[in-house]
Structure 1
Amino acid sequence: MVRMEVSRIPKYRKLVKEDRILIARWRFEGYSRKRIAKLLGRAVSTVGREIQRNSFQGKVYEPLHAQSKADEKKERAWKAKQPLKNPQIYAYVLGKLRDGWSPEQISGRLKLEHPRDSSWQIGIETIYRFIYKKENQSRAWWEYLRRKQKRRRQKSGRKAQRTKIPDRVSIHERPGVVDKRKEIGHWEGDTIVGLGRKNGLHSAYERVSSLTRIQKMNSLKAEQASEAQLRIYRPLPKRARKSTTLDNGSEHVLHAKLKEELGMPTYFADPYSAWQRGGNENANLWIRYYFPKGTDFAKISEEEIQDVEWELNNRPRKRLGFKTPMEVFTKHLRGCSSC
C-alpha cells in the first residue's frame, strides 16, 4: 500500500517534511537511492541531492535536521527575491536615498561593500520598483530621486543609447596608483546636461584634492566635449594631468584627442557604474545645486560658471582635513603634499 500511495506524488512537487521522514526510514531499512526515488515517484538525482545537501555533518540523514536546512535555504531564497524586506537593507537603501544617492549609486555601492554576500546585492530596477510600488506611493520616496517624478516613465522610454567608443580602455586596466589617491593628476569627467539636451557642461574632478573644473558645452556633440576637456587640461602642467576616467556617453567618442594632444590617457567606467567615479558624481550634485535640472546653459555666462567653480574649490572639506581643494591642489603642485 505504501508503494502505491507515494508513487502517485507529482514529480514536480518540492520535497516536504513527510517525504524526508520516508527517506530517512527507508535509508535506515537499507533501501537504495534508486528504490527510494521510485517509491517517492521522484528522480534519483532529486533524492541524491537531498541526502547530500541536508545530511548532518555530511554523513547522517536525519529528517528534522534536513527539514531545518531546507527551511533555511528557502528563507535565504525568499530574502534574495525580496531584499528590501530585510530591515537592515531597507534602512540602508532609504538612508542613502535621503542622502541624495541614486538607485544606481546605491546598487553599485552595495556590490562594493558586500562582494561575497548576494543577499545584499540589489539591482537598480529592484530599487526603482520598490520606490514606485503602489503601497509606497503615499510615502513619496520618489521625491528623493533627482528627477522627482511622481510616476515612473515606461521602460520603453528609458532605453539607453549604446554607442561604441573607439579605443576604449576599461577602468580595470587603469594603473593601481590611481586608486591609492597618492599623486595628483588623475581626474574623473562627466557631462551635465542642459535644457532639452541642447547644451551642457563638462565637469572634471581631481581625485586627490577634490578640485573641480567646469567648462561650458554649446551642444552635446563629441567635438564640444573634446574641446571643453582640452580647455580644462591644457593650461595645467603635465604632472597635474596624468589621466582621466569618463563615463560611456557618446559625447566621449573623441577621447583619444587628450592623448594625442596632451599625452593624457583616458579610461572608462563600467556601464551603469557611476559609483566608480564617485567623486565626480558628488561634484555634479553640488553643481546642480547652483544649476538645477532644466537649466538652459545658453543663458548662463562664463563668469557665472567660473563663480560656481571658485565656490566649490574654496570651500573646506572634511575629507581634506578641512583644507580647501585649491589649497591641497596647489601644495601638491609645489611638491608639498603634507604641508
Structure 2
Amino acid sequence: MLFSEYMVADVCQRFWQVMADGGFITDAAAAVGTYRGKGRKWLRATGGVRPRRGRDLQGRYLSFAEREEIALGRARGESMRQIAARIGRSPSTVSRELSRNAEAPGRYRATSAHAAAWVRAERPKPGKLATNPRLRGVVQEYLGKRYSPEQVAGRLRREFPDEPAMWVCTETIYQSLYVTSRGALKREQTRSLRTGRTLRRPSRKVGQRKNRIPNMVNISQRPAEVKDRVVPGHWEGDLIIGKRNQTAIGTLVERSTGYTMLLHLPRGYTPELVAPALTAKLQTLPEAVRRSLTWDQGPEMRDWQQVKAAADIAIFFADPHSPWQRGTNENTNGLLRQYFPKGSDLSVHSQADLDRVAAELNDRPRKRYDYAKPDELISHLLLPAA
C-alpha cells in the first residue's frame, strides 16, 4: 500500500477532532495542512465515520516522526543503539522495526515502513452482522421499514430477550452501513435512514419563524398533567411545508404514546383551509383522547377558536422560537421528512397516502417507550365503547 499522510495519527485524528468539534471540512483540512478536496476524499473513504486506529495510541507504537528519525539515522550510518538513544526507545524496538518494515536489507524509508505497519495493524475482524445471516436478515428487514439503528437495536433485545446472538448495538449497525470494509450491510440502505445521507455528519437544525396570533392561550396555562405525559389525549401539532412554501401536510402527535395522524391539505394551508381540516381530523378521535392540542404560533391557526368549539378540545400555543416545547412533534416531523423530502410537492399525496405513512410511523418501536410501538400503546383507547 502506498503511503498517505492520512496514515499519520497526528494528521488523521486531528482532522476528525475538528470535525467532531463542529468544524466544516475546509476547517478540518486546514488544521492538518491540506485542502478541502482531500478532506472530502478522506470522508468518503470512511463513510464519514471516524476511524479508531490512531486514537489514544499507547507509547509502544512508533510514530511517523520516530520512523523518520530512524531513516535519517540509518542514512548517517548510526548504530541501532545510537538511534534508540536519540528517539528514547530501546535498541530492540529499533531492531524489530528495521527487520519488519525495511524495503530490503539495508534499505529503510519512513513512508514505506509506516504504510507497511498501517496495513499490518488493521487485522480486520469479521463483524457480527457479517457472520450471523439470521441477525443480518432481521436488521435489513427493520431498516427497510425505516427503523433507525437505535430502534433496531432496542427492538432486537425486546423480541429476542434470551438470545444474545440476536443482539447488536447501534454503533455496529452504523459501522456496517457506512464503513465499506465492514461489509455486512449495503450502503444503499442508508436511504432508509431519517437523513438519507451516505456519509455520517453532524446534524444541524434550523429554527422556524414563529408568528403570534390574536387571543391565543399560552402554553404556560396548560394543565400540569400535559407535561407529565401520563394522561393520554394531549396532542402537539404543526405543519411540514413543501415546494416553494405553497403546499403542506398537517401533523398531530399524541404526547404520551407518540401516536401520529396526518392532515390532508391539498389546496394550501391558509386559516380557512386548516381549521375545517383540523376539526374533522380531531372529531375522529374518542373524547377520552381529545383533551388538548399545543401548536406553534403560525398564522394558519388564526381560527383556532372555531376548532376548539367544534372539536371540544383545549388549544394552547408555544412560545416563539421554542421548538422544544413541542419536542414530540418536532421529532416526528423530522421522521416524516423521510417520506416527504424538503422542497417536494406535498399536494400530490392523497389522504390514503398520508394514512399509510402514519400507519408505518406508528408501527416503529420507540426508545422512550422501551421500544414498544405507538399503535400498541394507544390501540385500546381508540376502540369504540362496547
1:213 aligns with 2:261: yes
For the 8 Å contact 1:205–1:213, the answer to whether it is kept is yes
Paired residues for 1:41-60 under 5 Å: none
Query: Residues 134, 228 of structure 1: CA spacing in aligned structure 2 closer, same or farther, 3 A cutoff?
Result: farther
1: distance between equivalents of 2:269 and 2:230? 33
Report the Cα offset of residue 271 of structure 1.
0.6
Q: 8 Å contact 2:264–2:350 — kept in the other structure? A: no
What letter corresponds to residue 306 of structure 1 in structure 2?
D
CA deviation after TM superposition for structure 1 residue 227, in Å? 2.3
Letter of the 2:256 partner, please give it: V
Match of residue 277, structure 1, among 306, 326, 348: 326
Structure 1 counterpart of 2:311, from 255, 258, 262: 262
Q: Is the 8 A contact 1:171 1:269 kept in 2?
A: yes
Say if 2:291 is the partner of 1:232. no
* Aligned residue type for 1:178: V
What's the counterpart of residue 315 of structure 1?
Answer: 364
Distance 1:159 1:213 in 2: 22
**Distance in 1 between residues matched to 2:332 and 2:208, nearest whole Å:** 26
The aligned counterpart of 1:331 is 380
Q: 1:137-156 residue pairs with structure 2 within 5 A?
A: 144-145=203-204
Structure 1, gaps ≥5 residues long: 1-90, 96-129, 148-157
- Tell me the alpha carbon deviations over residues 298-333 of structure 1, each in whole angstroms, 9 at most, x when there is no partner: 222222211110001122222223221111112345
User: In the alignment, is the contact (CA less than 8 A) between 1:197 and 1:220 conserved in 2?
Assistant: no
**Could you tell me which residue of structure 2 aligns to residue 8 of structure 1?**
none
Unaligned runs of 5+ in 2: 1-16, 30-35, 41-199
Deviation at 1:94, TM superposition (A): 5.9
Using the alignment, how far apart are the partners of 2:349 and 2:215 within structure 1?
34
1:4-61 per-residue CA deviation (whole Å, 9 max, x = no partner) reads xxxxxxxxxxxxxxxxxxxxxxxxxxxxxxxxxxxxxxxxxxxxxxxxxxxxxxxxxx
Query: Is contact 2:251-2:262 (8 Å) kept?
Result: yes
Q: Distance in 1 between matches of 2:25 and 2:298?
A: 30
Q: Secondary structure at the match of 1:244?
A: strand
User: Separation in 2 of the partners of 1:305 and 1:94?
Assistant: 37
Closer, same or farther: CA 231–136 of 1 in aligned 2, 3 Å: farther
Q: Distance in 2 between matches of 1:255 and 1:133?
A: 46
Contact 1:166–1:253 (Cα < 8 Å) also in 2: yes
Residues in 1 aligned to 2:212 and 2:297: alpha-carbon distance in whole angstroms:
9
C-alpha contact (below 8 Å) 1:202/1:228 kept by paired residues: no
- Per-residue deviation at 1:248? 1.1
User: In structure 2, do the counterparts of structure 1 residues 273 and 262 end up closer, same or farther at CA, with 3 Å as the change threshold?
Assistant: same
Question: Aligned pair 1:252/2:301, yes or no?
Answer: yes
Q: Following TM superposition, by how much is the alpha carbon of 1:144 offset from its aligned partner in structure 2, in angstroms? A: 3.4
Structure 1: distance between partners of 2:20 and 2:309:
45
SS at match of 2:343: coil
Calculate the TM-score normalised by the size of structure 2: 0.46
Task: Report the RMSD for the aligned CA atoms in angstroms.
Answer: 3.1
How far, CA to CA, are the matches of 1:240 and 1:159 in structure 2? 29
Matched residue, 2:240: 192
The code of the aligned residue for 2:331 comes to N
State the Cα distance separating 1:173 from its structure 2 match: 1.1
Change (3 A) 1:179 1:305: same
Aligned to 1:5: none
Partners of 1:219 and 1:94 lie apart in 2 by: 40
Distance 1:309 1:276, change over 3 A: same
Q: 1:243 aligns with which of 279, 292, 299?
A: 292
Match of 2:110 in 1: none
C-alpha distance 142-322 of structure 1, shift in aligned 2 (>3 A)? closer
Query: Shift of the alpha carbon at 1:237?
Result: 1.2
Q: Does 1:201 align with 2:201?
A: no
CA contact 1:185–1:243 (8 Å) conserved in 2: yes
Distance of 2:295 and 2:212 partners within structure 1: 14
Counterpart CA distance in 2 for 1:276 and 1:201 is 20
The offset of 1:262, in angstroms, is: 1.8
Take 2:305 and 2:371, find their aligned partners in 1: how far apart are those partners?
36
> 1:172 pairs with 220, 223, 226, which one?
220
**What is the aligned length?**
199
Deviation at 1:225, TM superposition (A): 1.8
With normalisation by structure 1, the TM-score equals 0.52
